[in-house]
Structure 1
Amino acid sequence: MTQLSTQAAPQPGKVKKKRDYNAITPVWNVIFNIIIGLFSFSCVFPFLFVIIISLTDEQTLVQEGFSLFPSQFSIAAYDYIFRSGSELISSFGVTLLVTVLGTLLSLVLVTSYAYALSRRSFEFRGFFSFLAFFTMLFSGGMVPGYIVMTQFLHLQNTIWSLIFPLSMSAFFIIVMRTFFQTTVPDEIIESAKIDGAGEFLTFVKIVLPVSLPGIATIGLFSSLGYWNDWFNALLYYNNPQKTPPLQFMLMQIEKNMDFLTKNAQNIGSFDMAASLPTETVRMAMVVLATAPIVLAYPFFQRYFVQGLTVGSVKG
C-alpha cells in the first residue's frame, strides 16, 4: 500500500495546468480571422465594384460587360455629372444643410419625448406611449401631410418642407425610451434632484452625456434618412428657381439622360445619344450619393463600440 500511494503522488516541482475552455488555439484563431475577413470583404466588395464600373469606359462596358479589370478606364460619367457646375455644388450644400439641421432637430425632439416616457413619475406616459406607437401602425397618409405642409404651414418651396416631415419617428422614440430605462440608473437622477437640479438640467447635464451611444445611433439613422431623401423634394419643390437637394438633382440628371437616349430618333442626334455614358453615370451617382455617408461613419463608430459594452461586467 505504501508503494502504491508513493507512485500515485505527484512529482515535486510539477504543477498540473487547468485547461482553459475559453482559449482559442492558434489554428482556430487563423480560421476565424479568415472567415471574418471574407465576410467583411463581401460587405465592401459591392461598393468597390460600383466604383470600378463608374470609372469604366461606356463602350468597353457595352462590349465586355461588367468586369473587375476593364480594358479601358474613363471619367466621362463624372464629367457628365459635373457639367452642371455650380448647380451640383449648390445641391450638395442644400442636402448638407438639410441633413445637419434635420438631424439636430430630430435628436432634440426624439430624446426629449423619449426621456419623458422613460420617467415613471410622468403621469401621462402611458397615453403618449400609445400615441407614438399608434402612428407606427396607422398613419394619416400622404394627402393630409401635403395639405398641412402647403395650405396651413405654407412651407412649400422652402427648406423646412424637407426637414419637418422626417423630424419625428415613433420607432426612434421607442428605441431611446428603452435605452433610457435600461442604461440610465434612477439613482443618478435622484441624486441630481437632491442636489437641486430640475428636470431640464438633469436631462441636459446627467442623462444626455450617459446616453451618447444611443444618441449617436439615432443620429446616424436620422442622417441617412435626410441624406437619401428625394421624395419630399418631389412633393414640395415645384419652383425651378429653387435649388433642389442632391438626390433629387441626380434623379433629374438621370431622367434627362434617359429622355435623350430614348428620343434620339425624334431629336435627330444619334451621335450625342450614343456617346452618353448611361450605365456608368448611374454608378457614378451611387458613388456621389454614398461616399459622404461612408466617410462620416468612422466618426460614429466609437459610440457604437461604447453601446456594445454598456451594461457589461468589467474586470
Structure 2
Amino acid sequence: MIQTRGERAFTVFSAAVMGLLSVFAFVPFLLIFIASFTDEHALIRDGYSFFPKLLSLDAYAYMASSSATFLRAYGVSFLVTILGTGIGLMITSMLAYPMSRRDFKYHNVLAFIVFFTLLFSGGVVPSYMLWSKYLHVKDTLAALIVPNLLTNGFHVLLIRNYYKNNVPLDLIESAQIDGASELRTFFRIMLPLSVPVMATVGLFMGLAYWNDWINALYFITKPQYYGIQNMLIRLMNNIQFLNSGQASSILGANAVALPSTAIRMAMAVIGILPILFVLPFLQKYLTKGVVIGAVKG
C-alpha cells in the first residue's frame, strides 16, 4: 500500500514522538542503575548523576553478604508468581467463559457479580479475619497466593469480552455438534484462540504477585516465607536502624555506617530485573490483548 505524503509525514512524526517517550521512560531506570554503583558519600554530596565521580560496589557487597537469604526470597517470589499466575489465569478464564456465552442463562448475573466487586470490597479487617481465622492461611505460602487469585474483576471482564468478540458462537456450536463437552470446548478451542489476552492478563497478574508485599505484611511472621519485596523492605528497615542515632547509642564503637541511599537503588534494580527479562517476550501480545479485550461486548 502506497502512503500519501501526509501519511508518511504522520508516520515519521508518530515514530519520533514514540521514540522520545521511550527515551523519557528509559532514562529513570538508567539513572537508578548508575546510582546503585555510585559511592554513598558522592551520592549524598553531588546528588544523582549519569557520570558519577566515584563508583562503588558497597551496596551490592552488603547485599551479597546475605546472598543465601536473598536467594531464598527470590525462590519464594518466583514460586508464588508462577503458581499464582497459572492458577489465577485458569480460574479467571473459566469464569469468563460462561459469562461470554449468550446461550448461558445466568451470564448476566455472573457479569453483575463480577462488576460489583469492582465497586465495593469487604475491607482490610474482614478480609484479614476471613483468611487468618477461618481459612487458616497465616504463615503459609497459601497466604501469598490465595488472597490474590480472583480479586480483580477487570481481568475477568477483559477475557470475557475477548471471547465474545473473537470466538464465533458458531464455532462452539460446531464443536458441540461433534460431541465435544464444555470442558473439551474450553481447553481445545477457547484457550488456544485466546493467547493474546491470556498473555496480557498473565502479565498483569505476574506483576501483581511479584510486587506484592501487603499479604506478607498481614499474614506472614516467619522470615522464611518472605518474598523478595518483603526481604528488601526488611533490609532497608535494618539499615535505617543501624544508621540511626539509636543504634549508635546501643552498639557504641561497633556501629557501622551503611550506604543506605545506594542500597535503595540497588534494591530497585534487583526487584525489577526479572520483569525486564520477561516483558519483551510478552510485548507483542500486550497491545492486542488489551485493545480487543477492552471492547464493549
Normalised to the residue count of structure 2, the TM-score between the two structures is 0.91
Deviations 1:76-115 (A, max 9, x none): 1111122112111001000000000000011011000011
- The one-letter code of the counterpart of 2:8 is I
Offset of residue 31 of structure 1: 5.1
Unaligned runs of 5+ in 1: 1-17
Unaligned runs of 5+ in 2: none
Look up the match of 2:166: 183
Seen in structure 2, the aligned counterparts of structure 1 residues 151 and 39 have a Cα distance that, compared at 3 Å, is same
Look up the match of 1:301: 283
Q: 3-state SS of the aligned residue for 1:139?
A: coil
- The one-letter code of the counterpart of 1:164 is V
Deviations 1:107-147 (A, max 9, x none): 01100001110101111122221111111111111122212
RMSD: 2.2
Seen in structure 2, the aligned counterparts of structure 1 residues 258 and 19 have a Cα distance that, compared at 3 Å, is closer
- Mapped contact 2:83–2:145 kept (Cα < 8 A): yes
Q: 3-state SS of the aligned residue for 1:204?
A: helix
Offset of residue 270 of structure 1: 6.9
Give the whole-Å Cα distance in 2 for the aligned partners of 1:146 and 1:86. 31
Q: What is the aligned counterpart of 1:162 among 144, 149, 160?
A: 144
Look up the match of 2:225: 243
Seen in structure 2, the aligned counterparts of structure 1 residues 308 and 125 have a Cα distance that, compared at 3 Å, is closer
- The one-letter code of the counterpart of 2:179 is G
Look up the match of 1:144: 126
Seen in structure 2, the aligned counterparts of structure 1 residues 101 and 63 have a Cα distance that, compared at 3 Å, is same
Q: What is the aligned counterpart of 1:193 among 176, 182, 189?
A: 176
Offset of residue 34 of structure 1: 3.4
Runs of 4+ aligned residues of structure 1 deviating over 6 Å after TM superposition are: 308-311
- The one-letter code of the counterpart of 1:287 is V
Give the whole-Å Cα distance in 1 for the aligned partners of 2:214 and 2:145. 12
- The one-letter code of the counterpart of 1:127 is V
Q: Verify: 1:39 aligned to 2:24, yes or no.
A: no
- Mapped contact 1:87–1:243 kept (Cα < 8 A): no
Q: Verify: 1:282 aligned to 2:264, yes or no.
A: yes
- The one-letter code of the counterpart of 2:89 is L
Q: Verify: 1:132 aligned to 2:114, yes or no.
A: yes
- Mapped contact 1:264–1:270 kept (Cα < 8 A): no
Give the whole-Å Cα distance in 2 for the aligned partners of 1:215 and 1:37. 28
- Mapped contact 2:35–2:262 kept (Cα < 8 A): yes
Deviations 1:151-206 (A, max 9, x none): 22211111011001111021111111111111111121111112111111111111
Seen in structure 2, the aligned counterparts of structure 1 residues 188 and 209 have a Cα distance that, compared at 3 Å, is same
Q: 3-state SS of the aligned residue for 2:51?
A: coil
- The one-letter code of the counterpart of 1:181 is K
Seen in structure 2, the aligned counterparts of structure 1 residues 31 and 310 have a Cα distance that, compared at 3 Å, is closer
- Mapped contact 2:59–2:262 kept (Cα < 8 A): yes
Deviations 1:51-77 (A, max 9, x none): 011110101112211111001111111
Give the whole-Å Cα distance in 2 for the aligned partners of 1:171 and 1:138. 13
Task: Kindly report which structure 2 residues correspond to 1:204-243, keeping only aligned pairs within 5 A, or say none.
Answer: 204-240=187-223, 242-243=224-225
- The one-letter code of the counterpart of 1:59 is H
Aligned length: 290
Give the whole-Å Cα distance in 2 for the aligned partners of 1:147 and 1:308. 35
Task: Kindly report which structure 2 residues correspond to 1:5-84, keeping only aligned pairs within 5 A, or say none.
Answer: 20=4, 23-24=7-8, 32-84=14-66
- The one-letter code of the counterpart of 2:182 is E
Give the whole-Å Cα distance in 1 for the aligned partners of 2:102 and 2:258. 62
Normalised to the residue count of structure 1, the TM-score between the two structures is 0.86
Offset of residue 35 of structure 1: 3.1
Q: 3-state SS of the aligned residue for 2:8?
A: coil
- The one-letter code of the counterpart of 1:190 is E
Give the whole-Å Cα distance in 2 for the aligned partners of 1:310 and 1:124. 24
- With 247-256 and 134-143 compared, the bigger mean Cα shift is at 134-143
- The one-letter code of the counterpart of 2:30 is L
Give the whole-Å Cα distance in 2 for the aligned partners of 1:305 and 1:149. 35
Higher gyration radius (CA) = 1
Task: Kindly report which structure 2 residues correspond to 1:108-119, keeping only aligned pairs within 5 A, or say none.
Answer: 108-119=90-101
Offset of residue 280 of structure 1: 0.6
Judging by fraction of residues, say which structure has more helix.
Answer: 2
